[in-house]
A and B are shown apart, each in its own frame.
Chain A
Amino acid sequence: MAKKDSAGPQVITANRLDDGVVVYFATDKDAVQWVEKIADASILIGDALNAALVRAEQTVAANEVVDVYPIPVDEAKHPQSRREAVRAAGPTIAYGAP
């Protein structure tokens, strides 16, 4: 079970099992989905975060995603850590064919 490491607003992230793509947890009452854009993620805090983590972990058991954990974000859903910012936006460099 992933632990929350901050009292502020958070989003939940994971990697999709079958292709490894970084995903974020979006919840609307009972509907749960993993979305690719952090902008579409749900901001969670306190009890709502804990409840969402439980549901997110259920999707691990259902073989949808791996490696679920919450990350602190600001109001605009920008991750506070550089690592998560790079993870959300992709490599900071232009890669592949020009």
Chain B
Amino acid sequence: MYRYDDFDQTFVNERVEQFRDQVARRLSGELTEDEFKPLRLMNGLYLQLHAYMLRVAIPYGTLSSTQLRKLAEISRKYDRGYGHFTTRQNLQYNWPALKDTPDILAELATVEMHALQTSGNCIRNVTADQYAGVAAGEVDDPRIYAEVLRQWSSLHPEFSFLPRKFKIAITGCANDRAAIKVHDIGLVVVQNEAGETGFEFWVGGGLGRTPVIGKCINPFVAKRDLLSYTEAVLRVYNMLGRRDNMYKARIKILVNETGVEEFTRLVNEEWAEIREGYLELPEEEVQRIRAFFAPPAYEALEADPAEFMQKLDADPAFADWAHANLAPHKVSGYAIVNLSLKPIGGIPGDVTDSQMEAVAGLADQFSFGEIRATHEQNLTLPHVRQKDLYALWEALQALDLATPNVGLVSDIIACPGLDYCALANARSIPVAQMISDRFADLKRQHDIGPLKIKISGCINACGHHHVGHIGILGVDKKGTEFYQITLGGSAEEDAAVGQILGPAFGYDEVTDAVENVVNTYLELREGPGETFLQMVRRTGVTPFKEALYEAA
């Protein structure tokens, strides 16, 4: 993992003390709320529906066990004993007191964490594939470049007051688990024909009230040009992005209004000015950062050892979990393990202090002390020996973290919605819970196969509903919650925005509606080999619409 050097640590410590002074001045009245609000937002502190909310950055989703223990401790000491993992690989505390936040940030700084740039119109926490460094078929570890971008974008003076927030995601795999095409910049680490490493640049993706799939504006930007090219994109956006209307201020609007070709020309023009300058990424620096992400000391192990295979045969519950929650590791004899934060009827992404501490312990015991947060609101242990999987599974079961549903119908993304969020129009969490309860039968879930439901409680789309295989958007109609259903979205390499099915459903109807959609799929699929998304793409939404609305 990346470790702070003196510069990083001093910088973060100084920011904590600066914020401590700002909070003191706010509490004493020296600063008004209008003066203080932009300062607290720069430190990740919001005022939400019930209380303040602190959003802690987890750079590219990678956590050490020490950091996770600290997150647990903070949740117990300063909050209500739990935290919430978000779709941007952050952790949110829902109940911190303003007066405690300088102490919370000081505690985070002791484990090389902070809440900087988790809010505001700046470059936010760079997110990455949760399987970074361990995925089979990966071109290069995206965290190296995410860290380069983090250092470049932290307190970047030119990009601290952008027209609007700016989100970057990166993956090193063709199979996109980081939703890069719905980010302001999405990067794919690729190799060109000469075997050189570079980046595919996808620009102008985003969700919110105007969902757009990003456009590839350059299929290969060489490694040394990563920063100069990114800076060129940001410069064009900073100069030309709209500041008159916050709903039209994201780069996706600029790219659409300018046209991809002209936008690309402008970027290239800017790039020509700066590419030979100080932004050239030195190979030594890449190597220095790469060293932090060096693989742990893997043992030489045979793949699929007998003790693992025997347990798979002997214990169907273990086999179900292994089927849904494991992913192939690039090293023989190891597996990537996903911990579901979606117990049946639970709150997506929520985790208690004791669960966090227990996971930290399991990471130490089984995964070289490393944990990943996923944008789908689950956790991952990236390096587990296959022969340890059964013992790990038993431990996770005791913690209620072994629900074998990763990628299945109850592995739902949900934003905090009206239960917590000041912007929401409708609740998301209880809708996720009702759907999860309805599909509680795991055999049925496995029979349905891969199906991603994503729920947002308002048009800002923090729950990624536009790119759900089934997307659910909560709206308010004259004081009553309604839920609009979309079908056919995807956040992966085949990214697409879902299509609205028809009139919205009431809170008490939406679970039935989702079940109706799933049943239509089960009836009409061309066999278990055809996934839900494949069928929607084959048939369109018409058969679903007919089944849903004509029966009524």
Q: Mark A31-42, 1 if CB is under 8 A from B, else 0.
A: 000000000000
Chain A residues within an 8 Å CB radius of B47: 15, 20, 66-67
Q: Does B354 contact A (CB under 8 A)?
A: yes
Which stretch (A1-9, A47-55, A90-98) binds chain B?
A: A90-98
Q: Interface size of A by Cβ–Cβ distance < 8 Å? A: 26
> Which of A18, A67, A90 is within 8 Å of B50, CB to CB?
A90
Q: Mark B385-427, 1 if CB is under 8 A from A, else 0.
A: 0000000000000000000000000000000001110001001
Q: Mark A73-86, 1 if CB is under 8 A from B, else 0.
A: 00000001111001
Q: Does B347 contact A (CB under 8 A)?
A: yes
Q: Does A28 contact B (CB under 8 A)?
A: no
Q: Mark B329-368, 1 if CB is under 8 A from A, else 0.
A: 0000000000000000001001011100000000000000
A63 CA to B99 CA, complexed, in Å: 13
> Which of B29, B50, B94 is within 8 Å of A22, CB to CB?
B50
Instruction: State whether A93 and B98 are in contact (beta carbons under 8 Å apart), knowing that A20-B47, A82-B479, A82-B481 are contacts in the complex.
Output: no
A80 CA to B350 CA, complexed, in Å: 30
Q: Interface size of B by Cβ–Cβ distance < 8 Å? A: 37
A96 CA to B80 CA, complexed, in Å: 7
Instruction: State whether A93 and B430 are in contact (beta carbons under 8 Å apart), knowing that A81-B479, A82-B476 are contacts in the complex.
Output: yes
Q: Mark B21-34, 1 if CB is under 8 A from A, else 0.
A: 00000111100010
The residue on A at minimum CB distance from B432 is A93
Whether the pair A97, B354 counts as a contact (CB closer than 8 A) is yes
Instruction: Give residues 91-135 of B contacting A (CB, 8 Å).
Output: 94-99
Whether the pair A95, B82 counts as a contact (CB closer than 8 A) is yes
A86 CA to B481 CA, complexed, in Å: 13
Scoring B29, B430, B476, B481 by chain A CB atoms within 10 A of each residue's CB, the highest score goes to B29
Q: How far is the CB of A84 from chain B (nearest CB, A)?
A: 10
Whether the pair A86, B419 counts as a contact (CB closer than 8 A) is yes
Whether the pair A20, B98 counts as a contact (CB closer than 8 A) is yes
> Which of B29, B419, B479, B481 is within 8 Å of A91, CB to CB?
B419
A32 CA to B99 CA, complexed, in Å: 23
Closest 4 A/B residue pairs (Cβ):
A19-B97, A20-B52, A20-B51, A91-B419
Task: With A20-B47, A96-B350 given, name 7 new contacts (CB 8 A).
Answer: A15-B51, A20-B51, A20-B95, A20-B96, A91-B429, A93-B433, A97-B82
**A contact set with B: CB distance below 8 Å:** 15, 17-22, 60-63, 66-67, 80-83, 86-87, 90-93, 95-97
8 contacts between A and B (CB under 8 A): A15-B51, A20-B96, A61-B29, A67-B47, A86-B419, A93-B429, A95-B80, A95-B94
